[in-house]
Structure formats: C-alpha cells, structure tokens
C-alpha cells in the first residue's frame, strides 16, 4: 500500500525552496520496528513496489527469497517526481532541480519522520545505489550494511555522456520517452547479451529482426507507464551523483562511513563499469577494513542486477 509523508521547508543544494514535498513509500515484510529494516532504493524507471507479484525486484526480495520478508522489514521510497502516485501536480517541472544528494537528504528526512534511527541495510542498483552512497555519507552511523549494486559513488564522464544523449532525445524527439528508451536499452545490455538472446533471428510476420521488435516493444512499454518529466528528472539525477562534491577527497569522505560496504559489479556492465568499482575498492581498503567487492559474471550488462538473482543471493549470503 502506497503511503505518504509530508516533507516541509526543504531547500535543495541548488537553493530551490519547496514549501512541501510529498514523499511516498511502501512497507513490506515484518511490521515496522519489529525486525531489522532494509531500505531499498529504486533505479531510474523503478518505484517503491520492490516485491510481490508486480515487484520489479521480486526475484531478490520476498518470502524465502534472499532478502526474506519473513525476517526483515522492507522500506522503499519513491523519488519525488517519479510519477508513481499518479498525481500530476507532484511531477517536477524543473527537471534539474534535484541531484542525488538532494534525494538522499529527502529520504533521510523521511526516515526521521518514520522514527527510523538505524537501517540494517541499504541496497540499490544504478541511480538507487548512488543515492545509497549519499545516504551513507550524510549519516555515517545510520547503515550497518551499505550495498551499492551496478553503480558508483560518482557519475563518470562515460555516464554523463550517455545521460546527455538521453537528455537530448528527451528534449528534442517527437516521441521522447519511446525513443530515449530504445537508446537506453543498448547501454543497459551488451553486444554479447543481444547475440545470446537474438542471434540475428528474423520475424517474418513483423518483417523485422527480433532485436528491432524487442527494442520497439520496450519503447512502447515504458511510454505507457512513465512520464516525460519523470524521465528527464531521473536522468538528471543519474548524471549528478558525487559524494565528494564540496566535501573533499574520496578517501577522506569514505573514511567517515562506518557501514560495512559491499560493492557489487557486473563484469559486462557498460554503464557503471567493473573497472571503476575496482578502483573504488582499491581506494576504500586503504582507509577501511570492512569492505568487499563482488562481481556478477553475466553477459547481460547493466541489467544483470535485475536478472542474475542466484548470483546476487550468493554474493549477499553473509549479509542476509
């Protein structure tokens, strides 16, 4: 069930003032305050429905799953403006108003409103993982286990470049959400994934290759459920992750985080690369002992964090 918190008197890092922000969320599993709490941060086109029949991460979270709803309380916020509440006035007209730190700050205020003072774990993939990094810096003692998956503590040049292409499509296309999704699917997957899935197969009924049909299907599917304003906003947040902005050197900033940090990469990820995560891990172990780096072995690229549940379960078995 979608629930709502009012966040009052919020000023963004860019100095935009909001009298009130509706922060919606869902709770799954054990009732609040009766079990360890796991905060799940959604990715760009995701939402707070992380488990159950319609849950986008139900291969990882649920009864007798890796993150067992018989054991844990699962909390997930919607990024304000993502449109999941269906209220048009809550969409964000200025898509550049929030960065990842702003969203983490809003989430932190939401946790305080819910009287949550400790999180057993925060887990998130892609932009959700970037927000998790920001949360860990904003409150270094809040989180026992920080689990950033297929993500990074900063938006790299490569990531920013792809987000710029996405932004230009969203601003100038006649069918922006549809067209942007087609491009995005290329960077969410990999050439090897496409070869394995399609192998140049041809659909005679549709008079096109199956890879073309698949891309067009994903464009249509997202266009039916995701608004243009939400896509522009989330894309901008994705392009603006940086826990060091205004704070100093990465090692200095990361050293303040008391959480156990479990970085998980995908070896075929072309969006948030394994190489970048390896560099982060090497820097982290110079200032922290409680850090691990696991790698999902998959041809499926960035989207492997939504596919390779058995490997995720194995990598997370010491936490959950």
What is the per-residue pLDDT across 161-218, written as a single tens digit (0 to 9) for each? 999 999 999 999 999 999 999 999 999 999 999 999 999 999 999 999 999 999 999 9
- The pLDDT value recorded for residue 99 is 98
Residues contacting residue 191 through CB under 8 Å, at least 6 positions apart: none
Same domain, 79 and 164: no
Same domain, 278 and 129: yes
- The answer as to whether 89 is a domain residue is yes
Same domain, 232 and 264: no
Listed as ranges, residues in the chain with pLDDT below 70 are none
- The answer as to whether 320 is a domain residue is no
Report which DSSP code applies to 78.
P
Domain containing 292 equals: 3-155+241-315
- Number of separate domains in the chain: 2
Residue with tokens 């896509």: 231
Instruction: Provide the 10 A C-beta neighbour count for residue 211.
Output: 18
Helix, strand, coil percentages for the chain (3-state, nearest 5): 40, 20, 40
* Element containing residue 185 per DSSP (H, E): helix 176-188
Domain end point (choices 217, 236, 255): 236
Same domain, 107 and 225: no
- The pLDDT value recorded for residue 237 is 98
Same domain, 151 and 163: no
Q: Which two tokens stand for residue 259?
A: 């959480």
Domain end point (choices 236, 256, 283): 236
Instruction: Provide the 10 A C-beta neighbour count for residue 17.
Output: 8
Same domain, 140 and 167: no
First to last CA, the chain: 25
Same domain, 13 and 103: yes
Same domain, 18 and 91: yes
Same domain, 95 and 146: yes
- The pLDDT value recorded for residue 262 is 98
- The pLDDT value recorded for residue 67 is 98
- The pLDDT value recorded for residue 233 is 98
Same domain, 36 and 143: yes
Distance CA 302, CA 187 (A): 7
The pTM of the full predicted model, rounded to 2 decimals, is: 0.97
Same domain, 256 and 140: yes
Distance CA 81, CA 234 (A): 9
Residue with tokens 């243009």: 228
Domain end point (choices 236, 264, 287): 236
Whole-number average pLDDT of the chain = 98
Shortest CA distance to 179 belongs to which of 191, 190, 168, 188? 168
Shortest CA distance to 294 belongs to which of 307, 311, 308, 306? 311
Same domain, 228 and 286: no
- The pLDDT value recorded for residue 287 is 97
- The pLDDT value recorded for residue 248 is 95
């Amino acid at each position: 069930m979608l629930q709502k918190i009012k966040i009052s008197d919020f000023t963004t890092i860019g100095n935009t003032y909001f009298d009130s922000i509706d922060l919606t969320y869902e709770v799954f599993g054990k009732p609040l305050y009766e079990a360890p709490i796991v905060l799940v941060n959604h990715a760009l086109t995701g939402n707070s429905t992380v488990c159950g029949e319609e849950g986008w991460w139900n291969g990882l979270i649920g009864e007798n799953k890796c993150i067992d709803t018989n054991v844990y309380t699962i909390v997930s916020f919607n990024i304000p403006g993502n449109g999941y509440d269906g209220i048009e006035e809550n969409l964000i007209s200025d898509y550049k108003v929030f960065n990842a730190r702003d969203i983490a700050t809003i989430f932190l205020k939401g946790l305080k409103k819910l009287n949550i003072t400790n999180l057993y774990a925060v887990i998130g993939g892609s932009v959700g993982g970037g927000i998790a990094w920001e949360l860990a810096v904003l409150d270094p003692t809040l989180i026992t286990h920080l689990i950033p998956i297929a993500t990074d503590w900063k938006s790299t040049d490569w990531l920013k470049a792809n987000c710029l292409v996405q932004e230009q499509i969203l601003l100038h296309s006649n069918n922006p959400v549809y067209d942007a999704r087609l491009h995005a699917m290329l960077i969410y997957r990999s050439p090897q994934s496409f070869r394995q899935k399609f192998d140049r197969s041809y659909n005679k009924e549709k008079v096109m290759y199956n890879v073309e049909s698949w891309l067009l299907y994903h464009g249509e599917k997202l266009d039916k459920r995701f608004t243009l304003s939400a896509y522009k906003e989330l894309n901008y947040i994705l392009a603006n992750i940086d826990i060091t902005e205004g704070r100093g050197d990465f090692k200095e900033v990361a050293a303040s985080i008391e959480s156990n940090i479990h970085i998980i990469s995908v070896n075929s990820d072309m969006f948030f690369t394994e190489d970048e995560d390896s560099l982060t891990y090497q820097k982290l172990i110079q200032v922290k002992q409680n850090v691990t780096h696991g790698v999902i072995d998959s041809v499926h690229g960035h989207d492997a964090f939504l596919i390779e549940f058995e490997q995720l379960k194995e990598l997370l078995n010491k936490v959950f």
